[in-house]
Amino acid sequence: MPTESGVDRTRLAELAARERATFAAQRPRSAAAYQRSEHLFGRVPMTWMNKTAAGFPIYFQQASGNRITDVDGHDYLDFCLGDTGAMAGHSPAPVVEAVTRRLGELGGATTMLPTEDAAAVGAELARRFGIPYWSFALTATDANRWAIRLLRAVTGRPKILVNSYCYHGSVDESLIVVGPDGHGVSREGNVGAPVDVTRTSRVAEFNDLAGLERELAHGDVAAVLMEPALTNIGIVLPEPGYLAGVRELTRRHGTYLINDETHTFSAGPGGATAAWGLEPDVLTIGKSIAGGIPIGAYGLSAPLADEILGRTDLDLVDMGGVGGTLAGNPVSMAAARACLEQVLTEQAFAGMTATATAFATGIRKIIESHGLPWSVSRLGARVEYRFTDPAPRNGTESAAAADAELEDFLHTYLANRGVLLTPFHNMALMAPQTTTADVERHHEIFAEALAELTA
């Protein structure tokens, strides 16, 4: 009996069980490694690594470009790419060279002294995003946290507004969703919130300017923290006029605008900000810009930077709450410089976008040919399908279209045939090394999976 996702649940359950059994049988070494990890909290280096489609993680041995080999000797085409951290491909040669030189010949992983690479990275980020002043963190989460602190300080306002079902890292203020009665409530599963999230945050649906205006009218929002397109609950693209409306409303209500481009960087060499002519006050980014080496960065507009630096009461130098010893370290800076100057170039983005377009066109055709009510969205080099059609317009709609059993089946089916998608959703990201032949290989397997599902 087909359900909302358009698939027969009995058939799905049978196929999912078959694929899980195959997955386990083919990966004895991964299974054993998982068993041996009893001194890791949850058996994994980080608890989210238990988000696996088939019961235990694949332990990888080697990675290069868009390919991964696991400890059982299976090769994979990697469309996950470290959920964007490896958008430049795994271990791109210029980054390996720069990091090796920094650590070896030049020496110094951390010194409390700046290197000249940092200035070059700041200049390149300024050129790409049109935001003039940059500071560094080690993760996008911290870039967001520190941006939030600075904007609270300059506005004297207590709250941050985010979109329902956003993800900006483990940022306390962002774990809020629109509840059934239209008011903000803590996101389900929120771990150890310091205070009730409604005291620190407001929330509006993506693509809802009326809702945003209603919340901003309270006059207590320091900043709107948003992705120009939602990417962590499937891709939800902005409707025409929405982002211009957000900018107009934030200006009118004296609220700063932070664009989190950590994932939407896939839209082009200057992210969605450059691609769509956006004018945020602050831009945050991380993961991908150093070719997989830990980094986060936030950029500030000129008036904002001047205002903050002019505030003698804010301790930006010592223990005022913005900073980390390893932030801006020489290895991150060397890696980011090499990655931005030599790997994630304009030319690379043109290729990645073309490959992603082929990916989206192909899966759309396959989905249509099986008569499934699913939709496909693309954001530059990034493609995702959701089990609903038309594509969701906001986070709540997209969350409602989740189908964990179906998603796990597809991920397992693909992994068993040598393709990795991003856990947590059905996202495929193209690296500079991803070819149309790789895309076609994915499509062959995806078509087989849908044929079996709908048989």
Contact call for residues 165 and 395 (beta carbons, < 8 A): yes
Smallest gap from Cβ 168 to ligand PMP, in A, equals 4
Looking at the Cβ atoms of 30 and 329, the one nearer to ligand PMP is 329
From 139, 163, 207, 388, residue interacting with ligand PMP (rule: CB under 6 A): 139
Give long-range contacts, CB 8 A cutoff, 24+ apart: 115-120. Answer: 115/330, 115/333, 115/334, 117/330, 117/333, 117/334, 117/336, 117/337, 118/328, 118/333, 120/337, 120/341
Alpha carbon distance 136, 295 (integer Å): 7
When binding is defined by CB under 6 A, the residue of 5, 141, 207, 301 that contacts ligand PMP is 141
Q: Which is nearer to ligand PMP, 262 or 355 (CB)?
A: 262
User: Using CA atoms, how far apart are residues 283 and 21, in angstroms rounded to an integer?
Assistant: 45
Interstrand relation of 159-163 and 176-178 (parallel, antiparallel or unpaired): unpaired
Burial of 389 (0-12, 13-18, 19+ CB in 10 A): middle
User: What stretch of H or E contains 176?
Assistant: strand 176-178
The single residue among 129, 146, 167, 409 that binds ligand PMP, judged by CB under 6 A, is 167
Among 70, 78, 205, 260, binds ligand PMP (CB under 6 A): 260
**Residue closer to ligand PMP, measured from CB, 233 or 453:** 233
* Residues 261-280 as x/- pattern, contact with ligand PMP by CB under 6 A: -xx-----------------
Which helix (H) or strand (E) segment holds residue 75: the answer is: strand 75-78
String marking each residue 362-401 x if it binds ligand PMP according to CB under 6 A: ----------------------------------------
Site membership for ligand PMP, residue 173 (CB under 6 A): no
Q: Report, in Å, the least distance between residue 141 CB and ligand PMP.
A: 3
The answer to whether 232 contacts ligand PMP (rule: CB under 6 A) is yes
Q: Decide: is 246 part of the binding site for ligand PMP (CB under 6 A).
A: no
Q: Which two tokens stand for residue 3?
A: 């359900």
Stretch that binds ligand PMP, among 107-115, 133-141, 318-326, 413-421 (CB under 6 A): 133-141
Residues forming a β-bridge with 202: 161
Tally of CA atoms within 13 A in the half-sphere of 223 that contains its CB: 28
438 binds ligand PMP (CB under 6 A): no
Q: Would you say the C-alpha torsion 61, 137, 384, 233 has a positive or negative sign?
A: positive
> Residue 286, interface with ligand PMP (CB under 6 A)?
yes
The Cα 301–Cα 223 span in angstroms is 14
Nearer to ligand PMP, 88 or 439 (CB): 88
Residues numbered 35 to 74 that lie near ligand PMP (CB under 6 A) are none
19 is an interface residue for ligand PMP by CB under 6 A: no
Helix or strand holding residue 136 (H, E): strand 133-137
Which stretch in 91-99, 146-154, 235-243, 259-267 sits in contact with ligand PMP by CB under 6 A? 259-267
Cα–Cα distance measured from residue 98 to residue 121, given in angstroms and rounded to the nearest whole number? 13
Using rule CB under 6 A, residue 238 touches ligand PMP: no
Task: Quote the CA–CA distance of 328 and 332 in Å, as a whole number.
Answer: 7
Q: In the set 19, 78, 83, 403, which binds ligand PMP (CB under 6 A)?
A: 83
Which CB sits closer to ligand PMP, 151 or 358?
151
Q: Does 332 bind ligand PMP (CB under 6 A)?
A: no
Q: Shortest distance, CB of residue 353 to ligand PMP, whole angstroms?
A: 19
Can you say whether residue 90 is alpha, beta or left, with left for phi > 0 and alpha for psi between -120 and 50 degrees? Answer: beta
Taking the C-alpha atoms of residue 379 and residue 393, their distance in angstroms, rounded to an integer, is 15
Closest approach of ligand PMP to the CB of residue 142, in Å: 7
Residues that bind ligand PMP (CB under 6 A): 83, 139-141, 167-169, 227, 232, 260, 262-263, 286-287
